[in-house]
Structure 1
Amino acid sequence: MAEPILEVSGLVKHYPLTRGVLFKKQVGSVRAVDGVDFVLAAGETLGIVGESGCGKSTVARMLCHLERPTAGAIRFKGQDITQLSGKALKAVRRNIQMVFQDPYTSLNPRMTVGDIVQEPFEIHPEAAPKSDRRRRVQELLEVVGLNPEHVNRYPHQFSGGQRQRIGIARGLALRPEVIVADEPVSALDVSVQAQVVNLMERLQDEFGLSYVFIAHDLSIVRHISDRVAVMYLGRIVETGSDAGIYDHPTHPYTQALLSAVPVPDPAAREHRERIILTGDVPSPADIPSGCRFRTRCWKAQERCTREVPLLAVPERFRDAAGPVAHDSACHFAEERRVLPPDEPPGPHGLVTA
């Protein structure tokens, strides 16, 4: 594994629940993110998947310091950035940029494309002299596959895929080292999704980028990611290489997610077992004791109500070789092939919650 560029340890974000109008009193908290740990190596792509509301986007906002964590550390090249402010924070933000989910609302409709892509240079004037900015903007548009002569057009004159390319160009303007992509293709058509993902892969090689790639679509996450982290109710429950997660899942929640992926081969689909989870996702304001997945898990036992499972290689796989020996937060972790052999998720493999 290459040298880590981003290290996250014990990351927590709680939102207070208050009661009263004039005299507000905190009566609880929403535990949106409740202890997340991962490492991102230079040049690597870490995919984060999970149901809506599991805390993926909150993690993304904290990585970019759009929200301050309640506890925990985010280290960029060894420096904890959670307590930074002023010029020090501004310098770090130049190296960690974000591509937002919705290309229709993430671009200012009153600004031209040229002004949108050039705006980072206004905030960080040392990145490009004024006389050179228009040329830099045109180069960025060309890099992401847009006509550089369209700098004076407005966002409403572009399609959804083109708008997301504009957002990517804006994210590349300052030549960052890390890009946090928060479901960058979920609002796009399937054919356009493939184009944008292929573009991001090409840009990663060209600019030496590291990605934190958040998505619902398991097929896209497998296509672009080197490692995958599965989140449930504010915590990572399983993490490993793409082969380990997709071909050798050991956590029941990961197995349920993969079983929901449509398979394009009718014969394979007919013989595949579908895992149906019962019950609803618990409220993040009232998280179950012990294992937080136990209320929906078919393997749950008394131990699961008392002990919080650690995210580590399960004891039964510690002497095993290969991708099955990866971290899984389950007392009764067991390998179970869900996808057909040698059958990646299909192009329409959307998992929605």
Structure 2
Amino acid sequence: MAEPILQVRGLVKHYPLTQGILFRKQVGAVKAVDGVDLELGRGETLGVVGESGCGKSTLARLLVSLERPTEGSILFKGEDVTRLSGRALKAVRRNIQMVFQDPYTSLNPRMTVGDIIGEPFDIHPEVAPKGDRRRKVQELLDVVGLNPEYVNRYPHQFSGGQRQRIGIARGLALRPEVIVADEPVSALDVSVQAQVINLLDRLQGEFGLSYVFIAHDLSIVRHISDRVGVMYLGRIVEIGSDEEIYDHPTHPYTQALLSAVPVPDPEARRHRERIILTGDVPSPANPPSGCRFRTRCWKARERCALEVPLLAVPAAFRYAEGPAAHDSACHFAEEKQVVPPEGGTGPGAPPAKGDPGPGEPPAEGGGATRLT
């Protein structure tokens, strides 16, 4: 991995549960994020996948300091962001920006596109002089593939894909080093998804960006990510390169997720083992003891209820070489290939590249496969 630009250590975010009207007292906590460790390399894309409610969006808000963590640290270039406030925090926020999930609600309908993209310049006036802001906004619109003359239009005059491009332009306004993308294509059509993903890929090369990319779509995550982290009930349960996670998964939860991806090849679908998980996802307010996945895992033993598995290379692969030797939080981890290798006709095949400009026909993209 490249030199880390963002490091997360023991990150915890608990939301208190209270009862009472006059005298409110805390009776519990929703453990949205409960001990996350990860690193983001400079110029790298880290994908984060998992079921709805596993804490992905809360993790994204913590990384951009929209939420304060209960415990843990977030190091940006070695500096703990969680201890900063005032001007120091404002300076760090300039370098860590976010692209939101919903392009319809993340833009103010009463503001023009020029005002939306130019708003970061009002907060950080040192980035662009006041008389130069309109030109800067038009340059950003051009960079994301929109007509620079659209600065006086309102969000309702754009399609979903165009609105997401506006959100990306706003995120790029301050020339950040890290962008946290919280499911940026989940609300878009498949062909538009491919255009936005290819745009993000191109911008990463042009501006030297590092991405934390959160999504449900396994095909898109594999296409854009250098490494992938799988999240379950507030914790990372497996992390590794895209090849390690997709072709050599060792955690049962990762294997179950990959087995749920539809395969377009009837022959491959006929010979694939489908892993059906029993039961519902436990409540984050009362997670199981030991391994949190044990209540739905077919490998669960007594040890799983008593001992929390560490996110590390499993003992079975500790002295072995190969893609199976990557971090996995499971006492009984074993390698199992679930999806066809990348480049085939299965869900591992990446969507078509090429980002068509305005007026060109939309690019073909990979299938939109959701985990939930």
| TM-score of the pair, normalised by structure 2 | 0.94
> Match for 1:336: what amino acid?
K
1:63 aligns with 63
Shift of 1:319: 1.7
1:348 aligns with 367
CA distance in 1, matches of 2:7, 2:261: 31
1:172 corresponds to 2:183: no
2:224 aligns with 224
Give the root-mean-square deviation of aligned CA atoms.
0.8
Deviations for 1:329-349, whole angstroms, at most 9, x for unmatched residues? 000000001013443516225
Asked if structure 2 preserves the Cα contact closer than 8 Å seen for 1:261 and 1:349, the reply is: no
Shift of 1:328: 0.2
CA distance in 2, matches of 1:236, 1:315: 18
> Match for 1:188: what amino acid?
L
Deviations for 1:294-320, whole angstroms, at most 9, x for unmatched residues? 000000011101000000000111122
CA distance in 2, matches of 1:199, 1:262: 26
CA distance in 2, matches of 1:128, 1:348: 40
2:268 aligns with 268
Asked if structure 1 preserves the Cα contact closer than 8 Å seen for 2:238 and 2:254, the reply is: yes
> Match for 1:313: what amino acid?
V
Asked if structure 2 preserves the Cα contact closer than 8 Å seen for 1:17 and 1:28, the reply is: yes
CA distance in 2, matches of 1:62, 1:290: 25
Shift of 1:265: 1.2
Structural mapping, 1:323-334, within 5 Å: 323-334=323-334
CA distance in 2, matches of 1:349, 1:261: 10
CA distance in 2, matches of 1:262, 1:70: 38
1:33 aligns with 33
CA distance in 2, matches of 1:212, 1:11: 16
1:197 corresponds to 2:197: yes
> Match for 1:350: what amino acid?
T
- The 3-state SS of whatever aligns with 2:83 is coil
Asked if structure 1 preserves the Cα contact closer than 8 Å seen for 2:260 and 2:371, the reply is: no
CA distance in 2, matches of 1:58, 1:327: 22
Structure 1 residue runs without a partner (length 5+): none
Shift of 1:322: 2.2
1:15 corresponds to 2:15: yes
Structural mapping, 1:292-307, within 5 Å: 292-307=292-307
| TM-score of the pair, normalised by structure 1 | 0.99
Asked if structure 2 preserves the Cα contact closer than 8 Å seen for 1:249 and 1:324, the reply is: yes
2:151 aligns with 151
Identity across the alignment (%): 82
CA distance in 2, matches of 1:42, 1:191: 29
Asked if structure 2 preserves the Cα contact closer than 8 Å seen for 1:13 and 1:71, the reply is: yes
- The 3-state SS of whatever aligns with 2:54 is coil
- The 3-state SS of whatever aligns with 1:127 is coil
1:102 aligns with 102
Deviations for 1:242-293, whole angstroms, at most 9, x for unmatched residues? 0000000000000000001111211111111110000000000011011000
Deviations for 1:38-74, whole angstroms, at most 9, x for unmatched residues? 0001000000000000000000000000000000000
> Match for 2:334: what amino acid?
E
1:284 corresponds to 2:303: no
CA distance in 1, matches of 2:306, 2:275: 25
Deviations for 1:214-260, whole angstroms, at most 9, x for unmatched residues? 00000000000000000000000000000000000000000000001
Asked if structure 2 preserves the Cα contact closer than 8 Å seen for 1:262 and 1:349, the reply is: no
1:119 aligns with 119
Shift of 1:350: 1.2
Shift of 1:145: 0.3
Stretches of 4+ aligned residues off by more than 2 angstroms: 340-344
Structure 2 residue runs without a partner (length 5+): 350-365
2:182 aligns with 182
